[in-house]
Amino acid sequence: MKEKFIYIGTGAGLVLFAIYGLLPGSFLGGIMGLNLSGLLFGYPVTSSLMPRIIVAVSMLLGVMVSGLVFIIAGSTLGWLLGSIVDYIRKSKEIQVTDKEIQNETLKR
């Protein structure tokens, strides 16, 4: 049961990343890239090749980090919910077997 919930949580994390994490990840990565380019090449940042490459790579890095956070959080929550469901199911199975044993001893 845990595996099903892990897949569900991962899918939910992927959907939430597509809705809420893609654009902010690229914005934050781009801002970090602009700051890094400004530190390396001076302010104002020119439109030459190296600052553009730095900004593009940092935007991709920001999107990837945002995606990892959403997907790992979703799969972790799915695993946690699956563990809780498994625990509840096992405790109910134990209660049922205890009641069956009590009924059999009463019949004797």
Say what the pLDDT of residue 90 is: 80
Model confidence at 1, pLDDT cuts 50, 70, 90, reads confident
pTM: 0.73
State pLDDT tens for residues 31-61.
999 999 999 888 888 888 999 999 999 999 9
Tokens of 3: 């595996």
Q: How many CA atoms lie within 13 A of 82 on its CB side?
A: 16
Q: How many residues does the structure list for the chain? A: 108
* 81, pLDDT greater than 80: yes
Question: Which residue in the block uniquely carries the two structure tokens 């569900």?
Answer: 8
Residue whose entry in the numeric block shows the structure tokens 């700051």: 35
Contacting residues for 36 by C-beta, under 8 A, at least 6 apart: 54, 58
Q: Quick check: helix, strand or coil at residue 33?
A: helix
